Amino acid sequence: MASGVPDACAFCDIVAGRTPATIVASDALTVAFLDLRQFHPGHVLVVPRAHLADVREADEATAAAIIASVARMARAVSAVFPHDGLSVWHSIGPAADQEVPHLHFHVHPRRLGDGLLRVYPSAPAHPDRGTLDEWGAKLRQVLAAVVLFVSMWAAPAAAQRFEAGVQAVAASMPAFDGSDFGAGGRLAWHTDDVLSFEGELNLFPGEYPDNGLAFSRRRVEGLFGLTAGLRFGTLRPFAKFRAGFLDVEEAPRPIACILIFPPPLSCALAAGRTLPAFDLGGGVQVDVTPRTFVRVEAGDRMLKYPGPAIDGSGVRRDEPFYGHGLRFSAGAGVRF
């Protein structure tokens, strides 16, 4: 459960890009950056994007993402900076010297005898086994209650890897003049920090072409595939490959076609046809808040036209053939 965001939080400002920081890694839930204080070179902080006071407020997905990021940072710090070991720690509250009330883990190189951290200022007590077992029983009772509570909302928490969005689309139908304009929706499932599987449906409601004899009253596009891209702060550039269809509905009114074989492509489509479609390109997604984003993309939409036909350039095509056209979309969405 997220804490109420205070009026001023140094780490929220870094996550939002309002305060400069040397960010070394980020994903959908976490950000890692170099601490301004470097007792030994390589001191890194790992924080969640959401404002959480400490680890007790982290849900299962955020906690897992933080520990995964801490492990990656530990390996990276070990590889880059000289050390005789590492300290990884998280402090809660003033008694533990928590300075910023935003959950954070330290990854810090250590040198022998550096005196950086003392675990016990004096010799600790050694309770007997009965006392330890009593404490253990109390902890197990609390943990059982926590597991029951988490099981009630774990499924919605896991759904945070999903996205939904809306977009406006402009596309050309290769072999014909003019552009086609439509709108639709998109669903995406992010399997990890790099790959996402997605599908979208778009409706192009106008007659096409709108500057001549229309052979289609409207078109429905469906595209399904994957994107791949690394996140850099609030930016995620990506490449995409999707396959699907463009359903070309019949002409809004009867059209006259010359009696030749093969027929013009517009006549072959006028009765209605579903065309295989492929979309190859890329784009960029920009986080506006931790749960909202805007996205723009462009690519080559390939449509497989029926043959035999005479294409828009007057060339006879005896076999089905592909046409290439630019496709552009812009939209916004939410994570849930």
Alpha-carbon distance of 173 to 175, in angstroms, equals 6
Alpha-carbon distance of 193 to 97, in angstroms, equals 32
Token pair in block for residue 199: 């599908």
Amino acid at position 243, single letter: A
Amino acid at position 240, single letter: K
What letter would DSSP give residue 264? B
Which residues, 6+ apart, have CB-to-CB distance to 1 below 8 Å?
Answer: 57, 59
Alpha-carbon distance of 238 to 299, in angstroms, equals 12
Using a 10 angstrom Cβ sphere, with 0-12 exposed, 13-18 middle and 19 or more buried, the burial of residue 162 is middle
Alpha-carbon distance of 37 to 42, in angstroms, equals 10
Token pair in block for residue 206: 């106008």
Residue 79 near residue 136, CB atoms below 8 Å: no
For helices 60-80 and 129-158, the axis angle rounded to 10 degrees is: 100
104 flagged as catalytic: yes
With helix as H, strand as E and coil as C, how does 112-169 read? CCCCCCCCCCCCCCCCCHHHHHHHHHHHHHHHHHHHHHHHHHHHHHHHHHEEEEEEEE
Which residue is catalytic, options 40, 43, 102, 104?
Answer: 104
Q: Which residues are catalytic?
A: 104
